Amino acid sequence: MAIGALERIAKDIVLTAQEYTLFAYRAVMNLFRPPRYWTDFLMQANIIGVGSAAIVLLSGFFTGGVLALQSAATLSEFGATAVTGRFVSLTMIRELGPVLTGIMVAGRNASSMASELGSMVVTEQIDAMRALGVDPMRKLVTPRIYSCIAMLFFLTVLADAFGIMGGGFVTVVMNHQNGTQYFSMAWEHLHFPDIIQGLLKPLVSGFIIASVGCFYGMRTTGGTEGVGRSTIDAVVFSSIIIIFADFLMTQVLLTLFPPL
């Protein structure tokens, strides 16, 4: 009995992974064949990018501030408060900027994608779209995926910048340290391997957020309750996959681009 249940769960997981892979592959490849819905790309870029800017900038700023507070307290024991800027900038750019931005955008946009597409499924709007001769994958999913990849890149750069500024604010205003020293340390110790880590991760996170959000939205069943379930699954799985992918990418990128 228990083995039967385990077998069923295992099969469900494999089937879901297979369906997700095919779904994501189709959505990505649609960009290379017409029709392409450029207006929808721009609209989604506006919703994801401009819409998420405030939460990403605020979370980046305060995370940088917290990093400065915590690190200054520890570094002062070794008389090394001067390296606060270096610590904050490296941590934000290599790790916290991409991951935090990914999780914040997942909470906001993976949920909205899943609930919007899920509602369209249960009210037959997706069927209506297909009946009107429009492929919902091309019209709804592909623009969301590419817009999310592009916008997460820029949002992460902004989050990194605001994080460093937040650290600077705490360093100068609260810790009464030298601001020039903070920013010069933050800048001078940044190297190519740090930048490449920070800029590659959001591309993967953006893909994960949109593809998982759309995947759960498009496979919604069971009316409004099903929409709620899809929304929860989209946020939970996209957040977990972002952190897991970050772990893998960090390992790979540290091997490919060892710190200088």
Tell me, what DSSP letter sits at residue 220?
Answer: -
CB 13, min distance to another protein, A:
18
For another protein, the closer CB: 7 or 127: 127
* Site size for another protein (CB under 8 A): 15
Asked if 135 is part of the footprint of another protein (rule: CB under 8 A), the reply reads yes
For another protein, the closer CB: 43 or 58: 43
Q: What string marks each residue from 32 to 51 as x (binds another protein by CB under 8 A) or -?
A: ---x----------------
Asked if 130 is part of the footprint of another protein (rule: CB under 8 A), the reply reads yes
Pairwise CA distance, residues 161 & 155, whole Å: 10
Count CB neighbours of 77 within 10 A.
8
CB 143, min distance to another protein, A:
14
CA distances to 116, 118, 122, 217 from 222, rounded to whole Å, are 15, 10, 7, 12
Pairwise CA distance, residues 223 & 220, whole Å: 8
For another protein, the closer CB: 120 or 241: 120
Pairwise CA distance, residues 258 & 260, whole Å: 6
Nearest to 54 by CA among 128, 104, 117: 104
Cβ atoms of residues 242 and 208 within 8 Å:
yes
CB 247, min distance to another protein, A:
36
Tell me, what DSSP letter sits at residue 33?
Answer: S
Q: For the segment 100-129, give every residue that binds another protein (CB under 8 A).
A: 119-120, 123-125, 127-129
For another protein, the closer CB: 64 or 143: 143
Q: Which residues bind another protein (CB under 8 A)?
A: 35, 119-120, 123-125, 127-135
